[in-house]
């Protein structure tokens, strides 16, 4: 790696297990997953001016503070690897057992053998918007569950009234929290001219409401600026996954789902609404149904087309134009029919 030392860091809630290669082979050290432990790890990695390439898995908030600290150092190159890619890499190494020490060693080998993709450090405002959007998504799911409970219990006279009232209070509490979070999200967007412009472009898409626009924007902000539209689709896990072998094995083509589930979830409702109210996307949806696609397959295709449209809108800085989406889809359909 051109005189760059490799390092694998396995992150858990309380501890960091670090794997590095020394004169006697792989050396394992442990640090607390705290601010003080992070500083100790940084001193150990950069001692003597050595450049180091660190790979850790995307383990959510447990690794966020460490990633922010390491990415700010000139001597450190940081990659936050997809957990599924690391798991398949471990299987390719014939790794049968799993514990923190072995996982750290696997990440070290991953750092030395696999193509390196640097982690893009998000801006403070971007990080705040992302956190708010994730919380909004969680609360939306909670509200939907409470509404379903309220509906089911309202049909039964055996359920005590106090239970129904408690569900109603819970629903009101979550809805008030969502309202405050929406306001905070809009303040984050208004503080950045580029975010505000992209948010307005998203709102020009029929079917993309306020919350969906916030969630979609927050997830797309984590993507590096140099990614093309195919990489956007792969990032969302909406890319087709073919499974065939020879002439006897040929399963249905499905989406890979190897990507950002939050972005897929944010695009689902807009795709559902747009396939009904937006004439061009509705035409595309009905065209796929006529070709024998299931409703679910057609809906996923609409979500993918929406993502293509958003990519084009961000590049051209122009609002949504349904004729471009439908005509491109129609031309592709004629080409492969």
Cα–Cα distance for residue pair 141/267, rounded to 1 Å? 15
The pLDDT score that the predictor gives to residue 317 is 94
N- to C-terminal Cα separation, the chain: 47
pLDDT truncated to tens, each residue of the chain (337 aa)?
Answer: 567 899 999 999 999 999 999 877 899 999 999 999 999 999 999 988 889 999 999 877 899 999 999 999 999 999 999 888 899 999 999 988 889 999 999 999 999 999 999 998 888 899 999 999 999 999 999 999 999 999 999 888 888 999 999 999 999 999 999 999 999 999 999 999 999 999 999 999 999 999 999 999 999 998 888 889 999 999 999 987 765 566 565 566 678 777 889 999 999 999 999 999 999 999 999 999 999 999 999 999 999 999 999 999 999 999 999 888 876 444 444 444 4
Strand 52-57 to 76-81 pairing: parallel
**pLDDT tens-digit profile of 75-119?**
999 999 988 889 999 999 998 888 999 999 999 999 999 999 999
Cα–Cα distance for residue pair 128/28, rounded to 1 Å? 34
Classify residue 98 by burial, with Cβ atoms within 10 Å: 0-12, 13-18, 19+.
Answer: exposed
Nearest to 238 by CA among 250, 251, 253, 218: 253
Q: How many other C-beta atoms lie within 10 A of the C-beta of residue 85?
A: 14
What one-character DSSP code corresponds to residue 237? T
Q: What are phi and psi of 201, to 5 degrees?
A: -65, -40
Q: How many residues does the chain have?
A: 337
The pLDDT score that the predictor gives to residue 335 is 44
CB within 8 Å of 181: residues ≥ 6 apart? 132, 135, 136, 139
The pLDDT score that the predictor gives to residue 242 is 61
The answer to whether the beta carbons of residues 236 and 259 sit under 8 Å apart is yes
The pLDDT score that the predictor gives to residue 155 is 87
The pLDDT score that the predictor gives to residue 90 is 92
The pLDDT score that the predictor gives to residue 327 is 66
């Amino acid at each position: 790696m051109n005189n760059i030392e490799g390092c694998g860091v396995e992150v858990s809630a309380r501890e960091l297990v670090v794997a590095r290669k020394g004169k006697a082979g792989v050396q394992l050290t442990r640090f607390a997953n705290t601010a003080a432990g992070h500083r100790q790890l940084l001193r150990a990695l950069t001692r003597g001016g050595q450049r180091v390439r660190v790979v850790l898995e995307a383990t959510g908030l447990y690794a966020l503070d460490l990633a922010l600290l390491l990415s700010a150092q000139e001597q450190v190159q940081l990659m936050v690897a997809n957990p599924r890619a690391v798991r398949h890499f471990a299987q390719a190494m014939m790794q049968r057992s799993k514990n923190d020490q072995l996982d750290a060693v696997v990440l070290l080998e991953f750092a030395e053998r696999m193509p390196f993709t640097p982690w893009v450090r998000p801006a403070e405002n971007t990080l705040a918007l992302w956190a708010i959007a994730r919380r909004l998504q969680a609360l939306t799911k909670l509200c939907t569950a409470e509404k379903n409970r309220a509906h089911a219990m309202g049909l039964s006279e055996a359920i005590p009234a106090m239970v129904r009232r408690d569900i109603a209070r819970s629903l009101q509490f979550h809805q008030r929290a969502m309202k405050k979070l929406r306001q905070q999200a809009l303040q984050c967007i208004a503080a950045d001219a580029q975010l505000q412009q992209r948010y307005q472009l998203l709102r020009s898409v029929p079917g993309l409401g306020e919350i969906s626009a916030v969630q979609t924007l927050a997830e797309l902000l984590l993507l590096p600026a140099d990614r093309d539209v195919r990489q956007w689709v792969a990032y969302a896990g909406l890319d087709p996954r073919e499974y065939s072998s020879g002439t006897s094995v040929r399963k249905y083509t499905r989406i890979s789902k190897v990507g950002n589930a939050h972005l897929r979830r944010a695009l689902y409702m807009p795709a559902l609404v747009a396939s009904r109210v937006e004439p061009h996307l509705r035409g595309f949806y009905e065209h796929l149904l006529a070709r024998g696609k299931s409703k679910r397959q057609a809906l996923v295709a609409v979500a993918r087309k929406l993502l293509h449209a958003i990519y084009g809108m961000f590049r051209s800085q122009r609002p949504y134009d349904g004729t471009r989406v439908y005509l491109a889809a129609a031309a592709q359909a004629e080409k492969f029919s």
